[in-house]
Structure 1
């Protein structure tokens, strides 16, 4: 039906809108999965990205989370919001706070707030758990500035949801990987960066980028109100064993092993912080509440895709 007086269709016939804040690799994977069924608007601070976003079927909105005045136009634009943007790392008056989430929350509340907001956080908010199994009921204990800012963002959004009545979901995400994702394990292996010897090593957690995109979509439509969900696969592996496995699958040299005592002299501080935290995430809510069946249940499944793709290209070019 079409209203000739207003030039609009009734709400039930209009395409739903989704606002993506931080439309990088994961955001674009979400967009591809929607395949035009939902109108996607994306906030970008870079005018240079506008053509690429339009080519992906996205309506770009130029604005900067670090400049709250540029966010006013976001109010009332979409009933669902996917927030993938990280907190800032520089220019902070308080290193424990995420001013970006606070500015976005204020902007979205200026008019009718979204009904649903999904925020992608980090499993780093738990700090070191000594290799213990962790579910979503464990109290966060952030130990790095990055984790503290994420924890502040989580609290900002959960309180915002309580005030506005919006259904807020926090996704706690570990290491993201995919064969077509730049950097990551292959780059680290190629550079010969050491890992800890087995007796000093830590448990790490992972999720394939495509499974994360699928989890984001399911959270937008299926998640329970004010809920935290771990988005991780079924892998239970020490960091060094994980990288050894990737090296073997891709035909790269295994990384050298070092003792923890010497790690501080050989590794950058950012990488060392990951080696100081060990935990194993449970993903029961992901499977039970979001009803997500992982396409890549383990890291071996995900990286095997890379070798299969490489073999396919080689055989077709032969």
Structure 2
């Protein structure tokens, strides 16, 4: 009886369980008041992180999306998958998403073949009819650990649900325009092109009926441990206002909430802007952080001067300006952000430091 209950517990697989993935695990642990607690599996390519993931409440699995044979253990493991892994660092194609989708599909094929072997009629005509019905485009198989009887036919129709963490960089430069999710993608660098590649692979797999997928396009992520303090301490320059670009933000905890909400309320093949209400230019964001932490503001330079002083990676973010509408996030997912904008977070941090200094 206990083993049966364990197998029936909801299961979530997090692929690429870094900072945001760990926050997802922690939020799932806070839902233990539910009748069946969720079993969370976390795929990591670094064996040294296993103890950290266990401490967070996840069951670690070591596997590398660049080495497909190492992914066998995640095949069919969970009906819900948070795909948070970044694409490879080179090329225009996300081969990691391709490997993940192939692994999930391979498990369904093996499970379906086993089911067919035990259920196919022996007459030639009956066998052909059975095969045509069984191999319908939307047929999938849910994996059981040590099944004690043949899998019911209705279980074959369970489709893996994937939530993919993409980037708002897929839009390229929008000239500071306010855009929604219907805006056509126009990636301008290799990183964004690989993200578009991943999105298209997921959409094609969803059209085939192999998966159900929804996509979160994510802007700059911040948190107490993800602020540009080191940059400010180094006096790295920002652009003058006339040359500056609009950026978008989301707190890491709010992002985890959004991703988990999408696993239950995200519409199939739907894109959501995982962005807060902030409307800031990049230099303004740096100034707000500097003022909040008592640091000197970043010096301002022209775009021409920045081209000579800054690294290519940093410059690439200074070439794209856009403002993300999050109306769909609020309307469809009904998410209430803990930090509606950057100022709310910085204010809470100041209050926290004030309380700590008064002890």
Report TM bin, short chain.
Answer: over 0.9
- 2:180 matched residue in structure 1: 135
Cα distance in 2 between the residues matched to 1:57 and 1:211 = 19
The normalised TM-score by structure 1 is 0.92
| CA-CA distance at 1:304 after TM superposition | 1.7
- 1:264 matched residue in structure 2: 307
Cα distance in 1 between the residues matched to 2:234 and 2:218 = 25
- 2:208 matched residue in structure 1: 163
The normalised TM-score by structure 2 is 0.82
Cα distance in 2 between the residues matched to 1:187 and 1:289 = 37
Is the contact made by 2:105 and 2:210 (CA closer than 8 Å) also made in structure 1? no
Name stretches of at least 5 consecutive residues in structure 2 with no aligned partner: 109-139, 141-158
- 2:230 matched residue in structure 1: 187
Task: Report SS of the residue matched to 1:294.
Answer: coil
Q: Does 1:61 align with 2:61?
A: yes
- 2:345 matched residue in structure 1: 302
Cα distance in 2 between the residues matched to 1:149 and 1:208 = 24
Task: Report SS of the residue matched to 2:106.
Answer: coil
| 8, 27, 31: which one aligns with 1:33 | 27
| 239, 243, 248: which one aligns with 2:291 | 248
Cα distance in 2 between the residues matched to 1:206 and 1:24 = 18
Is the contact made by 1:109 and 1:164 (CA closer than 8 Å) also made in structure 2? no
Q: Would you say how many aligned residue pairs link Structure 1 and Structure 2? A: 304
Name stretches of at least 5 consecutive residues in structure 1 with no aligned partner: none
Alignment of 1:65-104 (within 5 A): 65-89=65-89, 92=90, 95-104=91-100
Cα distance in 2 between the residues matched to 1:10 and 1:263 = 57
- 2:5 matched residue in structure 1: 9
Structure 1 runs (4+) greater than 4 angstroms displaced: none
Relative to structure 2, which stretch is displaced further, 196-205 or 185-194?
Answer: 185-194
| 10, 15, 27: which one aligns with 1:21 | 15
Q: Does 1:226 align with 2:269?
A: yes
- 1:172 matched residue in structure 2: 217
Q: 1:111 to 1:314 in 2, by over 3 A?
A: same
Cα distance in 2 between the residues matched to 1:160 and 1:304 = 44
Cα distance in 1 between the residues matched to 2:4 and 2:283 = 58
Structure 1 or 2, whichever has the larger Rg, is 2
Please give the per-residue CA displacement for 1:63-110, whole angstroms capped at 9, x wherever unaligned.
001101111221110000001110111xx4xx1111111111100111
Is the contact made by 1:17 and 1:41 (CA closer than 8 Å) also made in structure 2? yes
RMSD over aligned CA atoms reads: 1.4
